[in-house]
Amino acid sequence: MMVGITESVLVVGELVIDYTLGRNGVMCKLRLGGVAHAARGLWAAGVEYAVAVFCPQYLVEEAQQYLREIGCREFIWIGDVMGAPNVIVIDDVKEIGHQGYEDLMRERKVLKLREPLPSLNAYLKVVVFSGRFDLQFLALALSEDARVSFDVAYDLDDLSLLASFRDRLQAVIISTSSSLFMRLGHEDVGGLLAEVRALSPEVLLLKENRGGSRLFDMRDESVQQIPASLGRTMNSVGVGDVYSSVMVAYSQKGWREAAWRGSQAATVYAQSTFPDDIKRDLQRNLRLSLKTVQALGGTSLSWHERQSYAIYLAGPDFSYVAKPELDQAVESLSYHNFRVRRPILENGELERPATEGALRLTYHLDYQLLKDCDVVFAVPLDRDPGTLVEIGMAIAMGKKVVTYDPRCENENTMVMVGCSVYSADLDTCLNGTFRVIADLGRENP
């Protein structure tokens, strides 16, 4: 190895403060965020790393101290953040729906490179988390021999901005939660693949949240599906960053194994916010052979496949009913790209009182829709009799039923046992929906 060159992974991006609001049963949490999530993941995986970061001056000393505690070999302050505190307020830590990130004072935020720019020449393996900074400086600042991977989840609207890295690009990593994915790949992954192919990276990783991820090897056009291990999510903030950084760190073992190891790290990171717990659990998991990890499997349901299955929404979806939990469930399912069929919206809300003819017509239309759908998601608020009948009919038809009972009003043998999933927790029901639909896909490929 050349003098001055290190095997450490260099993580480039912004440091922020994450503040999780304490509500909905979640305790508030103050953590160093941004690329600190990737740093925790690498530390927990036992990987040597350094960071090159943009952060506000007031945060530099505290961040340095914190990152030193989690094994950071070198802290390189490459740019200041001015006009904003770089504080993100987080509403939904489980990504049941939109996470409700609030980047305080974001419109006033300006990133300014330090002069002279500190040297990044010593690092040959680099993972960059895009942010509101100009990427061109990196092309000049990094060693010509550096191999660079980009996680473009945030603040990058145009993939051609990566063109200056074409000869040394290893991985492009994107998430279905990002606006860039929504623009390029929401309907069809082909558009995204075409744009990425033009950059000639080795691989594209598409992270698909609870549905797992897909690794597209751009060298041989193969695709590897990496399933998600769906457990109880404690905090999903930064989970994607952990996946990306650990995958890049493991790339010398081949991208397939690297992606599985990244996925393992992400799973562990989602289940705790205590770093020592994360490290202990990840070390245990990484000791398992790749064969074992693959055999244990998990849930694979790609973003695009989800639209192939119709979910019948059983619930009092009436305009005159207070139903915030039902609305949240629909928002959540739609956020995850599920195709929700809402009988009351589609077939119309009956006038009160309704004529017998109108009742019959609506019954038959709803019944037909129930038959046509693949899965039922039920929200039996107020023990709505129509919803309970629909649950029973669906069970008798052999359909999988996921029942979300947020007010715990239907703890009844037939409901709890007859349904594939029964819970008062939307996170659990969402995981259950992913599982039952993924199972349908396996049974009827």
Partner 1 sequence: MGSSGSGRFSDYPGTKAKEVVGEGTGVEGGTSGIDKCTQAFHVLLEDVGNSQLYSRSGSVPSPKTQLGILFDGQRVFAVDLNGVKVGALPTAYNYLVACMDSGVNYLGIVSFSAALPVPTVEADFVPQ
Contacts to partner 1 from residues 311-330, by CB under 8 A: none
The smaller minimum CB distance to partner 1, of residues 124 and 246, is found at 246
CA pair distance 20, 43, nearest whole angstrom: 22
DSSP 133-194: S-SHHHHHHB-TT-EEEEE-SSS---GGGGGGGGGGEEEEEEETTSHHHHHHTSS-HHHHHH
The H-or-E segment that residue 363 falls in is: helix 356-372
Which amino acid would we find at residue 291? K
Tell which one of 30, 354, 359, 397 touches partner 1 (CB under 8 A).
30
CB of 33 to partner 1, least distance (A): 10
Tell which one of 275, 392, 418, 441 touches partner 1 (CB under 8 A).
275
CB of 172 to partner 1, least distance (A): 30
Segment near partner 1 (CB under 8 A); pick from 7-15, 17-25, 163-171, 341-349: 17-25
Q: Judged by CB under 8 A, does residue 411 bind partner 1? A: no
Q: Is the dihedral of CA 384, 388, 391, 397 positive or negative?
A: negative
Segment near partner 1 (CB under 8 A); pick from 16-24, 124-132, 171-179, 419-427: 16-24
Tell which one of 64, 200, 272, 347 touches partner 1 (CB under 8 A).
272
CB of 67 to partner 1, least distance (A): 11
For partner 1 (CB under 8 A), the number of binding residues is 33
User: x/- site string to partner 1, residues 51 to 80, per CB under 8 A?
Assistant: -----------x---x--xx----------
CA pair distance 344, 320, nearest whole angstrom: 12
CA pair distance 188, 192, nearest whole angstrom: 8
User: x/- site string to partner 1, residues 222 to 261, per CB under 8 A?
Assistant: -------x-x------------------------------
CA pair distance 100, 388, nearest whole angstrom: 33
CA pair distance 13, 51, nearest whole angstrom: 8
Q: Smallest Cα–Cα separation from 262: which of 171, 354, 359? A: 171
Segment near partner 1 (CB under 8 A); pick from 128-136, 182-190, 217-225, 279-287: 279-287
Q: Judged by CB under 8 A, does residue 27 bind partner 1? A: yes
CB contact at 8 A, 202 and 255: yes
Segment near partner 1 (CB under 8 A); pick from 22-30, 185-193, 338-346, 406-414: 22-30
DSSP state of 260: H
**What percentage of the chain's residues is helix, strand, coil (to nearest 5)?**
40, 25, 35
DSSP state of 24: T
CB of 267 to partner 1, least distance (A): 9
Tell which one of 22, 100, 191, 385 touches partner 1 (CB under 8 A).
22
Among all chains, which residue has been given the structure tokens 């960071």? 51
Tell which one of 73, 197, 280, 383 touches partner 1 (CB under 8 A).
280
CB of 66 to partner 1, least distance (A): 6
Cα-atom radius of gyration of the chain, to the nearest Å? 24
Residues 6+ apart with CB under 8 A from 361: none
CB of 19 to partner 1, least distance (A): 7
Tell which one of 8, 14, 31, 84 touches partner 1 (CB under 8 A).
31
H-assigned helices in 34-134:
35-45, 57-69
DSSP state of 8: E
Q: Measure Cα distances from 372 to 32, 118, 311, 399 in Å.
A: 48, 62, 9, 11
Tell which one of 10, 16, 32, 265 touches partner 1 (CB under 8 A).
32
User: x/- site string to partner 1, residues 281 to 300, per CB under 8 A?
Assistant: x--xx-xx---x--xxxx--
The smaller minimum CB distance to partner 1, of residues 287 and 352, is found at 287
CA pair distance 323, 349, nearest whole angstrom: 15
The smaller minimum CB distance to partner 1, of residues 160 and 289, is found at 289
Q: Judged by CB under 8 A, does residue 46 bind partner 1? A: no
CB of 300 to partner 1, least distance (A): 13
Segment near partner 1 (CB under 8 A); pick from 163-171, 277-285, 340-348, 349-357: 277-285
Tell which one of 5, 6, 19, 328 touches partner 1 (CB under 8 A).
19
Q: Measure Cα distances from 316 to 91, 160, 319, 387 in Å.
A: 27, 48, 9, 7
Mode of pairing for the β-strands spanning 72-82 and 222-226: unpaired
Binding site for partner 1 (CB under 8 A): 19-20, 22, 27-32, 62, 66, 69-70, 229, 231, 272-277, 279-281, 284-285, 287-288, 292, 295-298
